[in-house]
Amino acid sequence: MNPLTGIYGAVSSLRNRLFDRGTLTVHRLQKPVVSVGNLSVGGAGKTPFVIMLGELLKARGIRFDVLSRGYGRKTRGVLVVDPNGSASDFGDEPLLIARKLGVPVVVGESRYQAGRLAEQKFDVQLHILDDGFQHRSLARDFDIVLLTERDFKDQLLPAGRLREPLSALTRADLVIMPAGFAFDNSDIQYKPRCEVKRSLAVHDSPDRPVAFCGIARPEQFFAQVRAAGIQPAAQVVFRDHHSYRAADIERLKVVREKSGASGFVTTEKDAINLGPLRSELAPLAIAGVVLAIFSPAKILDAIFQKLAANG
């Protein structure tokens, strides 16, 4: 075992025990908080799930906002996301959520302060806490944790991608599993769970495009592109949350010429990070993540049942 992994695990365990004992302060908002998180670093589909959960809440007539750290933004403090703004101001994922859902999205290093601002400015009934499983300084009323197949055989940081071990799922109220995945783990054996199947929706994709992305697990995107019936002429990977510049556009154009590709395909998050440079890559297809949830009503029923039980 990597000695740093042992140190990381010990620190993480100590931190959780301090929260469990009340040694570290937990702040509570006036309205209930539903957290969407995961165990690993990126790639679990939290943002598409937040959007899907938001659509389910809207269909039930529930007024809500989304609280996020705003990872990758160059600003600081608590800000309400302007859907017409830039990723550098608010972060790519909060901006995507705001554009998709059309509800208040508030970013802040302190999600508690973000929630307080939301409660002052907006008439909401509920907060969705984005990427909140490890953000224990904010009290939550319901914890949803997304798992990937890789989580079951991965290691803690820095040797692997896990932020916490599977045993942390004892704090979860609902676990979202990959559809059809067989597991044998006592930490989730009796945990309430739903299954989800991920796919891509790509409209008007060029023939043999250059597929490129700056996400946590690019190989997953490329595999889903192929599963959608698209055969990329080339693949280009950028770092997660990459903010595109003119030099990146030129690099992509060179790849297109060398590979004989007729255009490009990328993710919705990358389209956000391209900003105005997006027009220089025409024709460009944007691949949206589609989540098929088995028994989606089960998710809202579980949330509302616990909220009602807690008063």
Taking only the tens place, the pLDDT of each residue in 112-121 is: 999 999 999 9
Which letter, b or e, does each residue of 9-43 get, where b requires 16 or more Cβ atoms within 10 Å of its Cβ?
A: beebeeebeeeeeeeeeeeebebbbbbbbbbbebb
Give dist(CA 6, CA 229) in Å, integer.
Answer: 43
Q: Spell out where the chain has E strands.
A: 33-38, 64-68, 79-80, 105-107, 126-130, 142-146, 174-178, 193-202, 210-213, 234-237, 264-267, 284-293
| The two structure tokens encoding residue 60 | 């039930």
**Architecture category of domain 3-196+293-309 in CATH:** 3-Layer(aba) Sandwich (3.40)
Predicted model pTM: 0.94
Q: What is the predicted pLDDT for the residue at 79?
A: 98
Q: For position 175, what pLDDT does the model report?
A: 93
C-beta separation of 244 from 277 below 8 A? yes
**In this predicted structure, what is the pLDDT of residue 10?**
92
Q: What is the pLDDT of residue 186?
A: 60
Of 287, 286, 289, 284, the C-alpha closest to 206 is 284
- From residue 267, alpha-carbon distances to 46, 119, 217, 220, 296 in Å are 15, 32, 12, 11, 24
Instruction: Verify cis geometry, omega within 30 degrees of 0, for the bond prior to 209.
Output: no
Q: Which residues of the chain have a pLDDT value below 70? A: 1, 184-190
Read off φ and ψ for residue 172, nearest 5 degrees. -80, 145
**Rounded distance between C-alpha atoms, residue 37 and residue 145, angstroms:** 5
Residue whose C-alpha is closest to residue 38's, from 132, 149, 160, 107: 132
DSSP state of 260: T
Neighbours of 91 (CB within 10 A): 27
The pLDDT of residue 182: 75
